[in-house]
Structure 1
C-alpha cells in the first residue's frame, strides 16, 4: 500500500481520542497508510484504535528497542519505522514477521541494512542531510535499494523526491501537524492530505 500511495503521514498523538477522527480525515484525503510515532503515551492506544479501520494500514514509528517492537506489533502495527539503524530492532521485527524500515544517513548504515536483508530504508532527516542531492549520491552505489525520505519533506518539495526512481514514498508530519490535531481541525488535515496526494500523482505522469 505504501508503494501505491507513495505518501506516509507521520503523526504524534497526544490524545488517543484523536485517532478516530484523524483516521477518517486521512482516509478522506486519499491515503491508506499511517505511521504513529512512539513519542507520546497515547501512541499504543491510538494504534489499536486505528487498526479497527479496514481502509488504513497502520505502522509504528520512532521504534528504538526490541521491546517496543513487541508492544506495537501486539497493538496491531503492520510495519515498524526506526529513526536510525538498530540490529536488535531489525532482528525482532524479522522474528515477528513485520516489515521494518530503518533510518539511515550514511553509506555504512545502508550497507548494514542490506546485510540484514532489507531493501527499503528511511533517509532521515532528509532535508537536513542535504535533500535530493544527498539522496541521489547515496542511491547511486546501491541499485535496487528503495528510500522513504522523511524530515523536512512537504507538498512543496515532495515531487522532486518522488520523481527519483529510488524513492518508494515520502513521509512527514506536514499533513497532520500538532497544532491542527490539538485544535481538532480535521477538515484541514483532509485538505493538506488531498493536496499531497494530488501532487504525488503528478509525479507519476
Structure 2
C-alpha cells in the first residue's frame, strides 16, 4: 500500500498519544469501528512503540508512527508494526533513515521553500504543519498553482468544523486531527464516544 493510497483511505488521520498501554487496543478498535482505519501513533510518550505493536494487531487498522524526529526511530517503528511514518519537519538524517528503513515518510513542511526541498528529495506527499499557523486553506490553494504535483495532509489547528474546508482543496487527500481522541474519553474508557467521533469524521465531505 503506497503512502498516497493510505492518505486516500483516510478522511481524517487521528493524531494519537498513548499515556497508558492498556488503552491502545480498545482505542484502535473504537476508531476502526467508526470507520477511521488509518491511525498515527506519536512517539510523544514513552509508550509509543508499545502502542504501535499492540494496535498493529487490530483487524482493519493501518498504523503509522508520528513525531519521528531522529533517524534511529524509523527501524524500531517499522519493526513494531508501523507501515508509514510522519515527521514534523524534514532533515538530511530523516531522509536517509526513510530510504534505509523502507518506511514511507510523510514529512512536515510549512513554507513553499520547504515544499520544494522535500520535492527535490522525491517526496510528493507532505504534511502541512502546523496547518493553521502556516496559512491554512489560503496557503494550500496558493501552493497548488506552482507545485501541482504535491498532495497534502494538513495537520495542526484543524477541527471537525473546519476540516471540510481543507478537504475541498484540490491538493488535499486527508487531514490530521487530535479531536477524535480526547484525553478524558481515553482516561475513562469511553470508547463509544470515540466511535461516535470517528463516525462523524469518516462522514466528512469537502465543502
1:125-184 CA-partner distances (Å, limit 9, x unpaired): 111222211221223210110000000111101111111110011011010122221221
The question of 1:49 aligning with 2:57 is answered: no
Counterpart-to-counterpart distance in 2, 1:136 and 1:161: 10
TM-score (norm 1): 0.94
Counterpart pick for 1:162 among 146, 162, 167? 167
2: CA distance between counterparts of 1:53 and 1:155?
A: 25
**Deviation sequence 1:62-99 (CA, Å, 0-9, x none):** 00011111221111110000011122112211222111
Q: Is the 8 A contact 2:7 2:153 kept in 1?
A: no
TM-score by length of 2: 0.93
Of residues 180, 183, 206 in structure 2, which corresponds to 1:203? Answer: 206
2:37 and 2:62 in contact (8 A); partners too: yes
Q: Distance in 1 between matches of 2:191 and 2:95?
A: 34
Q: Contact conserved, 2:74 with 2:98, CA < 8 A, in 1?
A: yes
Moved more, 43-52 or 124-133: 124-133
Which residue is 2:149 aligned to? 144
Measure, in 2, the Cα distance between the counterparts of 1:62 and 1:139: 26
Q: How does 1:171-186 map to 2 (within 5 A)?
A: 171-186=176-191
- The structure 2 residue matched to 1:102, chosen from 100, 107, 112, is 107
* SS of match in other structure, 1:101: strand
Secondary structure at 2:180 match in 1: coil
1:13 match: 18
Are the counterparts in 1 of residues 98 and 105 from structure 2 also a CA contact under 8 Å?
yes
Corresponding position of 1:124: 129
Post-superposition Cα deviations, 1:14-59, rounded to whole Å, max 9, x if no partner, equal 0111011101100111011100000000111000001112301100
Alpha-carbon distance in 2 for matches of 1:96, 1:183 = 37
Structure 1 residue ranges without an equivalent (≥5): none
Question: In the alignment, does 2:97 pair up with 1:92?
Answer: yes
Q: Which moved more, 1:162-171 or 1:88-97?
A: 88-97
**Counterparts of 1:70 and 1:145, CA distance in 2:** 26
Query: Number of residues paired by the alignment?
Result: 202
Instruction: Point out the more displaced range, 8-17 or 179-188.
Output: 179-188
